[in-house]
Structure 1
């Protein structure tokens, strides 16, 4: 049996669609455990109505304790051999469970990792795992584990960093869910899922997308953040991962990759504190002094953080992203590269971690007449990474 665990908080707008996609699965040997984390809307009532029509649904009510606590409750309530996590505002393809169970059984895999489809406004985008499709065991699995946190660069992990695009054997994942620090409010999926994968004996990767993730405006817009609180959260995730991996004897797989993941989190969640720790007045690691006029290329997590930081400190002439039209619908003041009125002498900050993407962007910009010397890219070495983490978080 597969236990489908759905943590829920104020999801009245989407929970029906989510449940419809699960009760209609072509694999019927499932239980659906909804953990209502103190919702104040009609979410629980909607689930109760479904529960009356389908005996496989179990509703567990609790006071608001957060996502990690809710997942723990789901694990404790579960009776299945497999675990599938689902967010309450997302939905599944009708054959997700049957397909992943079939792969797990035929490959004898502890975890099956699929692709996922992200819906943002009117656009949809399929994200696939960086690691090629296939069954990983032996030396191939060891290599996958070594590159799990950092497959190519600061943003590319070997597998998508989510719990919900994977089917887990319960006897693998439950230990890591129950060991997770309940105070974690960021990167919980990585802190739980990746240490579990490091302990797996066999992993299956498929390029087919079965999970549909809804990207909302609240998840896109840069909300006001408490940088100190964010730093505390990042440190908590860092130490939690190191601790559980040390207990499992898998800490050797963390060398290098975990630090790059933490660098990503520091730059996208607590950038003002990164600047302070670096001891520079400029824009670390781009330039020692902030230019008088800048163009920012990139509206991902790093781009949004850099934009917020520079907006109060200099003249941001324009903010460019290849997906500008769709991002505008989410309230981001982004423009296309053709719509940007930049002068020859303007400095361009390429706010992108990926080296592959950065190289492509630089080629595009220089091809449009931008001077290469005025294009600044993200670049750090291992020593600088280690020193920054040591200053901000410690060992």
Structure 2
């Protein structure tokens, strides 16, 4: 049996579509655990209506405690051999559970993941997660280099993997809370399988979703998530196999301190200081390369100056991009003024 955990907070506009996509599955041996996380719209009513309609649906009403706490509650009471957590504003293909379950059984896999698409109001963007190396190390390398998303909802896991290794959500996290859990699951997975089909539809039209709301705590949440995964990697002793990737994910975790609204260059230098000397080499833009090199040298005043200089340069060059020769001349003059080669 599969347990499907669905945290739900003020998603009345989308919840019915989500539930219908699950109830219409080709694989029917499942239970749904709906966690109503203190909703103030019609979410609670929809949850209760569906639970009365189908005995496989269990509803837990709780005061608002956040998505990680809601998911934790669902994971704790899950009784299925396998577990998946679906977001209440998304929906799944009619054969997703069957495809994932059959693959898990055939491969004797602890974790199965599939492709998905991001659904906008005017388009769809398919995200393929195909990997050449499906070992735990191969998966983590791809994750830390940005080639994977640490999402719950496109992954089916063996419930015992979670419980035996005590890998649960970190209550209180809003950002990257899935990264902190799924990647720790991967560390302990003996077998990982991949289904090369788009089986999950990730709704990008819900502007009220947590991932689309900027908060001052976002950066700290990301740090906590990364630290949790790195602590697990250290615990099992695989740091040496992920040396370069660990540097990369640390730099990713603190890159938010390079930009508004979190910009704090002195704090950036203090966070994972051992990675500072590598920062300029992994940046894509010239501006970030120069700023990171300056920060690694400890010249914070110059870094602040360069940040504003490059911001000004972008605005100027945008106005001059229709006059290439003049734009090139102005760019050269600005670089001379800034003292940048």
TM-score, normalised on structure 2? 0.76
Maintained 8 Å contact 1:72/1:177: no
| Matching residue of 1:264 | 252
Aligned equivalent of 1:204, options 176, 185, 193: 193
Range 95-104 or range 286-295, more displaced: 286-295
Q: Supply the distance in 1 between the matched residues of 2:117 and 2:198 (Cα, whole angstroms).
A: 6
Matched, 1:285 2:286: no
Q: Tell me the secondary structure at the aligned position of residue 212 of structure 1.
A: strand
Q: Residues 96-141 of structure 1, C-alpha deviation per residue, up to 9 Å, x if partnerless?
A: 0000000010111111110001101110011011414x8x4xxxx2
The number of aligned residues is 298
Maintained 8 Å contact 1:9/1:37: yes
Q: Supply the distance in 2 between the matched residues of 1:220 and 1:76 (Cα, whole angstroms).
A: 23
Compared CA separation, residues 142 and 189, structure 1 to 2 (3 A): closer
Matched, 1:144 2:148: no
Q: Tell me the secondary structure at the aligned position of residue 196 of structure 2.
A: strand
Task: Tell me how large the CA RMSD over aligned residues is.
Answer: 3.3
Matches within 5 A, 1:177-216: 178-216=167-205
Q: Residues 59-91 of structure 1, C-alpha deviation per residue, up to 9 Å, x if partnerless?
A: 001111111111111111111000011000000
Maintained 8 Å contact 1:177/1:192: no
Compared CA separation, residues 278 and 42, structure 1 to 2 (3 A): closer
**Unpaired runs of at least 5, structure 1:** 296-313, 319-339, 348-370, 375-395
Q: Supply the distance in 2 between the matched residues of 1:193 and 1:292 (Cα, whole angstroms).
A: 37
Maintained 8 Å contact 2:176/2:225: yes
Q: Supply the distance in 1 between the matched residues of 2:214 and 2:149 (Cα, whole angstroms).
A: 27
**Unpaired runs of at least 5, structure 2:** 270-285, 292-302, 335-341
Considering fraction of residues, name the structure with more helix: 2
| Matching residue of 1:163 | 152
Compared CA separation, residues 293 and 235, structure 1 to 2 (3 A): closer
Bigger Rg, which one: 2
Compared CA separation, residues 114 and 145, structure 1 to 2 (3 A): closer
Q: Supply the distance in 2 between the matched residues of 1:292 and 1:126 (Cα, whole angstroms).
A: 33
Maintained 8 Å contact 1:10/1:40: yes
Maintained 8 Å contact 2:226/2:249: no
Q: Supply the distance in 1 between the matched residues of 2:267 and 2:257 (Cα, whole angstroms).
A: 14
Q: Supply the distance in 1 between the matched residues of 2:254 and 2:40 (Cα, whole angstroms).
A: 33
Maintained 8 Å contact 2:140/2:183: no
Maintained 8 Å contact 1:7/1:34: yes
Q: Residues 239-278 of structure 1, C-alpha deviation per residue, up to 9 Å, x if partnerless?
A: 2222333344444454332332232243247624354446
